[in-house]
């Protein structure tokens, strides 16, 4: 919890305090900045007002270093460093926008955009443009896989592509329940959903990574439909998904019928109506109807997590309007 100007009253009792952190000085794009030791380059860059693109980074999760879109150049380093996980060091000289860093990000974005549907990834179009990415240079996109086809691929059984089209993960969305949809044509394999479902938050372990290489995909055990899996529908995977591959069915349906309009939506944070834990729920409302529920990541009660009731149990309120 950030206490800001409030101080905890001294009682003479032991209240654990983290050891004080020294400030570390480093240079970012020629500007000297001081941040507490143990912070990441990404945090330092944000402090310095730099806008670093991120995809697999999650503010509530341990960095996974999967997407490499946040790489920066460090003076004297052989390779580029992922800003999201690399800790600051005294005297570091960071270049966030060097030719080398830009070139690397451009390639990452091109590879992703050529193979994955980034249409609902916030800021993807802007980044593609600003880095001059040309995903179409790999050729026309290969035809989408039939539903379930990619899920049958076994590790090691990869066939050589023809080379005539750019390989993609395009496939129809998986709609197997009324609460949320898995559209893996939009999945960049950042693993955030796996971490949120697994040991970092939910500890349900309903999903993992199946397959290898380009055939790797997020899957339930034995590729079961969600209702036959260990899933408990907390939606904490949706909360961290950076591309919209995982979405509320209410959002998915509205997008399909063209009535999803974020410019007409309000976001209001209130408290869940169910048990006494006091989870903060942010209600996304369009036309006086709740269309999505998230939770503030910096909140000390939830850290962005909810259970099935908090995430999806709001319908009773609007059923009253239809009765």
Partner 1 sequence: MFGAGGGTSSYQEIEETDVIVMWGSNARETHPIFFHHLLKGVRNGARLFVVDPRRTSSAKWADRWLGLNVGTDIALANAVAREIIHAGLYNETFVRRATTGFEELKAAVEPWTLEVAAQETGVPADSIRELAHAYARADRAQICWTLGITEHHNATDNVRALINLSLLTGHVGRYGSGLNPLRGQNNVQGGGDMGAIPNRLAGFQDILDPEVRQKFGSAWGVEIQPRYGKHLTQMLEAMDEGTLTSVYCIGENPAQSEADAGHTIKRLKGLDHLVVQDIFLTRTAELADVVLPAAAAWCESDGTVTNSERRVQRVRKALDPPPGARDDIDIICEIARRMGHDWNHPSAEDIWNEVRSLSPMHYGMTYERLERLHGIQWPCFSLDELEPTYLHHRLWEADPDKRGEPAPFKAVEHALPVDVLDDDFPLRMTTGRRLDSYNTGVQSSGYDSPLRRGETLDLGPEDAEQLGVTEGELVRIVSRRGSIIAPVRLDTALRRGLVFMTFHFPDEIDVNALTIEATDPIAGTSEYKATAVRVERLSRAEAEKGLIAQRKQAQDRAALAR
Least CB distance from residue 68 to partner 1, whole Å?
28
246, 270, 292, 294: which one contacts partner 1 (CB under 8 A)?
270
Least CB distance from residue 162 to partner 1, whole Å?
40
- 214: exposed, middle or buried (Cβ count in 10 Å: 0-12, 13-18, 19+): middle
Least CB distance from residue 220 to partner 1, whole Å?
13
How far is the C-alpha of 218 from the C-alpha of 214, rounded, in Å? 12
Report DSSP letters for 153-167, one per residue. Answer: PPTT-PPPP-SSSB-
Least CB distance from residue 209 to partner 1, whole Å?
21
Binding mask 14-53 for partner 1 (x = CB under 8 A): xxx-------------------------------------
Q: ∠ CA 116-293-288 to the nearest 5 degrees?
A: 115
Strand (E) or helix (H) holding 129? helix 124-130
Q: Is 100 helix (H, G, I), strand (E, B) or coil?
A: helix
Residue 316 sits in the site that holds partner 1 (CB under 8 A)? yes
Least CB distance from residue 246 to partner 1, whole Å?
15
Residue 179 sits in the site that holds partner 1 (CB under 8 A)? yes
Residues 274-303 that bind partner 1 (CB under 8 A): 274-280, 283, 285, 288-290, 296, 298-303
CA distances from 123 to 4, 24, 261 (A): 31, 31, 16
CA terminus-to-terminus distance, the chain:
42
Residue 266 sits in the site that holds partner 1 (CB under 8 A)? yes
Return the half-sphere exposure (C-beta side, CA atoms, 13 A cut-off) of residue 323.
Answer: 6
Residue 320 sits in the site that holds partner 1 (CB under 8 A)? yes
By beta-carbon proximity to partner 1, the closer residue of 191 and 233 is 233
Contact 140, 118 (CB under 8 A): no
51, 114, 203, 297: which one contacts partner 1 (CB under 8 A)?
203
The token pair that represents 157 in the structure block = 């059984």
Binding site for partner 1 (CB under 8 A): 1-9, 11-16, 177-179, 199, 201-203, 226-227, 231-234, 266, 268-280, 283, 285, 288-290, 296, 298-303, 305-310, 312-321
């Amino acid at each position: 919890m950030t206490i800001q100007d409030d101080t905890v009253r001294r009682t003479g009792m032991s209240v654990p305090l983290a050891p004080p952190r020294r400030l570390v000085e480093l240079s970012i794009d020629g500007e000297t900045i001081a941040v507490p030791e143990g912070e990441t380059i990404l945090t330092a860059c944000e402090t310095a007002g730099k806008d670093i693109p991120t995809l697999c980074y999650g503010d509530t999760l341990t960095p996974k270093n999967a997407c490499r879109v946040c790489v920066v150049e460090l003076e004297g380093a052989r390779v580029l460093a992922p800003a999201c996980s690399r800790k600051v060091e005294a005297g570091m000289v960071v270049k966030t926008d060097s030719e080398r860093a830009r070139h690397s990000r451009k390639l990452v974005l091109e590879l992703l955009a050529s193979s994955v549907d980034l249409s609902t990834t916030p800021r993807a179009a802007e980044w593609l443009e600003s880095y001059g990415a040309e995903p179409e240079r790999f050729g026309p996109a290969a035809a989408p896989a039939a539903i379930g086809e990619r899920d049958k691929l076994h590790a090691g059984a990869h066939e050589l592509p023809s080379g005539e089209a750019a390989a993609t993960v395009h496939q129809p969305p998986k709609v197997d329940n009324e609460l949320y949809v898995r559209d893996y044509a939009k999945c960049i394999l950042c693993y955030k959903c796996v971490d949120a479902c697994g040991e970092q938050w939910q500890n349900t372990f309903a999903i993992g990574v199946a397959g290898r290489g380009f055939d790797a995909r997020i899957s339930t055990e034995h590729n079961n439909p969600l209702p036959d899996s260990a899933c408990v529908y907390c939606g904490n995977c949706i909360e961290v998904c950076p591309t919209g591959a995982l979405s509320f069915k209410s959002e998915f349906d509205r997008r399909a019928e063209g009535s999803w309009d974020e410019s007409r939506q309000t976001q209001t944070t209130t408290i869940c109506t169910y048990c006494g834990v006091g989870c903060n729920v942010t209600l996304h409302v369009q036309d006086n109807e709740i269309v999505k529920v998230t939770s503030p990541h910096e909140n000390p009660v939830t850290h962005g997590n909810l259970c099935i009731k908090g995430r999806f149990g709001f319908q009773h309120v609007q059923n009253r309007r239809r009765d």
